Every structure is written in structure tokens, then in C-alpha cells.
Chain A
Amino acid sequence: LPEDARQAIHITADSATRNDQTGITLYKGNVLLSQGSMKVTGDSIELRQTGTTITTIIAKGRPAEFQQRTAADKEVTHAYGEVLDYNIRTKELEITGQAKVSQGNDSFSGNRIIYDMNKSTVNAFSDHSGNGQRVQMIIQPKTTEQAPPANDDKPVSEAASGELNNQ
């Protein structure tokens, strides 16, 4: 939610290491971070600070998960991946490794996804190696009066971009 960014960040974990010189705090073991409607879970979460301001949240897991309600009337957006790298200032979430973003019944998956929360746009990229994971988009037809497009369930080319539920 828009007001999420103004709320305190809460985090719990089994253990943590803080390095004053680098400004990095690494939380490990059943890590849960929350800020308003935003929640991030993972095996480890690294917080990077400049001074006392948190600039970046990097979650790792099998998979790590990010979820947030972008607006009161929208469904919760879920993002999954081996590494979730969230830039707090740009509100850009980069997901690598088994990446998937879903909102309601719509979903994008690929090897790497960049989800821009300001614009609610998703850029998905496949893995360039031969047997890599290709980009897949599933956009469910909207209600009948909105002239539903054909159900596009087949893999898409190397890269794809789209917008999450923005009506």
C-alpha cells in the first residue's frame, strides 16, 4: 500500500550479524521482514544501510517470497525466487532463479524478472542456456463484458513484459 513505505520495518530471525564498516546486517534462519502490507520471507535477508537509512533488502531462499498489496482495491502481489533484490528508493524488485510474479490468477515466470512497483510493470527474461527456463505469461481473461482476449498459456519468446492488473 502507498503508506507502507512510511511504516517501521519489523524483522525477526534466528540469528544476525552486523558489520558496522559495511553497513550490512545479515539476518539468518526463518527470516520474516514486514513493513505494512509488504512481507518478505527467506532463509536469509540482508539489509543494506546508508547511515541509518535502509536502502536495499536482499532475500535468499528456496524460494524466498515477497508479497505486497499495491492498492487497497487490488489483490496481493506475490513474487518468488531464489534471490529477491528490492531497491527501496526505486521500488524495483529484481528476482533471479525460478522467478515468478503473480497477482490473482495472472502470473509471469522466467529465469529473471524485474518488477517495477511504481509502474506495476513486469519484465521477464529467460535463461539463455539451452535448457534454461523460458518466459511464461498467464493472463486470465477478465469478466465477459471486457471482451476477454484468448487465453495465452503458451511459453513466450526470450523476454516479455506486461502490466499487472492495472484496471
Chain B
Amino acid sequence: MLTGRARLAAAAAILIPAVIYLGMDSDGRPDRVREEPNAAYQLADYYIINGQIRDFDSTGMLKQQLSSTQLEHQPELQQTVVTNPEMQIYSADQPNRRVSSLKGVISDNDDEVILDGQVLFQDNADTNIATTLKTESLTILPQQNLARTDQRVIISNSAGTTTSVGMTIDTDSGILNLLSEVSGVYNVD
């Protein structure tokens, strides 16, 4: 099952790409009234091909990095669509969490992030305490500290594997609810 450190940091992790482009960091940006999209906007007002965005902390340490084959902002729908997003979160300059999927949709006001297609979370990736969570779709509600899916979920680490259909995670308290058809295997040391 997910270990302590495997608590899903999805909200924080995924939220950042929604706002780190173009300096839209939520702390620095005044609260703005949701503007009605200008009729002249076509579907996309900007897009980035094979982009890699890196975010550093105040001491210059790499905090997270997002790469994607395409990122497109759609003003009319007030969302950003990311193709093949892969997010790496660094701790002490080492990537310790990785989040990827085939597609991501991030709402402009940062209240919802939807990951679709081969969603994969890896905590402590490439270590012997690695934990992975796989599902086909995941909705993250950063402002509610919540991530949820109604799809099949597979959570595995060296201690075992647990599957269920439907899951919610409180990314603040780390409490994971497996909603139905729960099946677990615990390896014995």
C-alpha cells in the first residue's frame, strides 16, 4: 500500500504546471475576476511544442520540471491542455516523485486538473521503497486537497499490491479510500 512518503502530492505537483508558465504563480498573481473570453480568441491563444518548463526555488534548487510534447492554452474554455505531460518533483536536487499521463487538462483558475490515459504516479522512483499508482483517469482538486477516480487503481510497492475500483485521496492528511472491489496482497519479509 502507499507508504507514508507515498502520500499523493498530486495537487501541489500538478497544480504547479498550471501556473508556472508565464509567471502565473498563484502567490504572485492578484485574485482576478473570471473574465469572459474575448470573442476574437480562437481555440488556442498560445501553444508550446516539446516544451520543458523548470521551476527553481529561492535558493536556486530545482523544484519541479514539466515536459510535454505539446501544451496549448484555450482561452475560450479557460483551460490548458497538455499532451504527454511528465512532471518530476525534486527533493534536494533529486527527482523523487514522477507523474505522467497521456493527456492533462488544467483549468485556468487552478481548481481542477484532469489526467487521462495511463496515469502513473511514482513516489521515491528508482529506489527500493518506490511506490507506484496506476489508473486510467484521475481528477485532482487542488483547493480541496483531493484526488479521485472511479477507474481501476493499482497501487504497488515492495510490500505488496492493492487494487480497487474507485479511489479518493486526501492529499493533505494522506488518507486513501479505496471505494470498491478491494483486493490486496502483502508480501512477507
Contact = CB atoms under 8 A, between A and B. Distances in A.
Interface of A: 5-21, 23, 25, 27, 35, 47, 49, 51-54
B179 A15 contact: yes
A44 to B, nearest CB: 12
Interface residues of B, number: 29
A18 B1 contact: yes
B151 to A, nearest CB: 16
B88 to A, nearest CB: 22
Interface stretch (B2-10, B11-19, B47-55): B2-10
Contact of B164 (A16, A23, A53): A16
Contacts of B160: 8-9, 52
B188 A6 contact: yes
B174 interface: yes
A82 B159 CA distance: 29
Contacts of A6: 188
Contact of B159 (A10, A16, A52): A52
A53 B189 contact: yes
Contacts of B173: 19, 21
A21 B173 CA distance: 8
